[in-house]
């Protein structure tokens, strides 16, 4: 009985020590800003919500509810279209698949004229339907509100 403990305990310790300390917060605001507009400086337009990048472009932080809990995400806009979408924090136990880079890459290039509709131009992820829908709605709203800011 103790055999398996002897073999798995070191692995468990190693994992718990070496693994990144986040299971909820994947990117900080700064890290997301750097990913969206590398080597740019940011000035806040709305506190904690919207920034202007020195290289030209808008960076927005918002949140939506997945199934029950908030998803924090970031949208980078440039010239009226989406440049990048990142998930900053995902709290649910199910549905984390929306963090997949290939799913988030679908938003790149979307404009205010894009349908931005799950099942239409955005793939659904079964098992993460609500998260997919709400994040897509969130990106659409941000495009509508800030897509024209320069």
Partner 1 sequence: MATIRKEGRQSSVRARFRRGAMGLAAAVVLVAARAPALAGVGESTQSASGNVTNQALLEKLDAMERRVKLLEGELKRKNSSADGKLQAQSASDSKPVTDKSANKAKKAQDQTKAAPNDAHQDDAHQTPSAAATAADVGQPATPAKPAAATKPGEKAIFGLVDSPVAGLSIGAYGEIQFGEMQNPAAGGQWQLGSDPARRFVLLPTYDITDNIIFNAEIEFEHAGTGFDNDDKLHGTAEIEQLWVDFKIADQFNWRAPGIDLVPIGYINQHHEPTEFYSVFRPELYNGLIPSTWKAPSTSAYGTVADGVRYQVMLSAAQEDFGDAYDCRTDANTVPLGSGTTPCTAGGAAYFPGIDGLNALTFSNPPLGDFRQLSNSLAVSGRLDFMEPASLPGLAWSLSGYYTPNTTPRGAHGDLGNLLGQSSLAMFDAEFRYRVPQSGLELRGEGVYVTFGNPANLRANNDTDPTDNVGKHMYGASGEVAYHLPLGTILHSEWEAVPFYRYTYEDLQTGGFAGTDVNAPTGAGQLQFHNVGVAVFPSPNLVLKATYQRVINRAPGGAQSDSALGGLGFFF
**Backbone phi, then psi, for 121, in 5-degree steps?**
-100, -5
Q: Identify which of residues 83 and 122 has a Cβ nearer to partner 1 in the complex.
A: 122
Q: Is 134 in the site for partner 1 (CB under 8 A)?
A: yes
The span of 1-9, 28-36, 78-86 binding partner 1 (CB under 8 A) equals 28-36
Q: Is 21 in the site for partner 1 (CB under 8 A)?
A: yes
Q: Identify which of residues 112 and 125 has a Cβ nearer to partner 1 in the complex.
A: 125
The bridge status of strand 42-46 relative to strand 58-65 is unpaired
Residues near partner 1 (CB under 8 A), total: 59
The span of 2-10, 79-87, 130-138 binding partner 1 (CB under 8 A) equals 130-138
| Residue selected from 2, 4, 6, 101 as contacting partner 1 according to rule CB under 8 A | 101
- Positions that interact with partner 1 (CB under 8 A): 15-16, 19-26, 28-30, 41-44, 46-49, 51, 61-65, 67-70, 89, 91, 93-94, 96-97, 100-103, 117, 119-121, 123-127, 129-130, 133-134, 137-138, 141-142, 145
């Amino acid at each position: 009985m103790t055999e398996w403990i002897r073999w798995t305990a070191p692995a468990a310790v190693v994992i718990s020590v070496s693994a990144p300390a986040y299971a909820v917060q994947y990117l900080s605001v700064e890290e997301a800003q750097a990913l969206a507009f590398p080597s740019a400086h940011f000035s806040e337009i709305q506190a904690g919500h919207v920034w202007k990048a020195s290289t030209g472009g808008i960076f927005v932080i918002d949140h939506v509810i997945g199934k029950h809990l908030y998803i924090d995400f970031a949208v980078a806009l440039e010239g009226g279209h989406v440049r990048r979408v990142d998930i900053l924090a995902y709290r649910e136990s199910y549905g984390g698949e929306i963090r997949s880079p290939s799913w988030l890459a679908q938003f790149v290039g979307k404009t205010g004229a894009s349908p931005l509709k799950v099942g239409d131009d955005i793939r659904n992820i079964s098992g993460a339907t609500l998260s997919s829908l709400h994040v897509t709605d969130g990106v659409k709203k941000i495009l509508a509100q800030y897509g024209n800011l320069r």
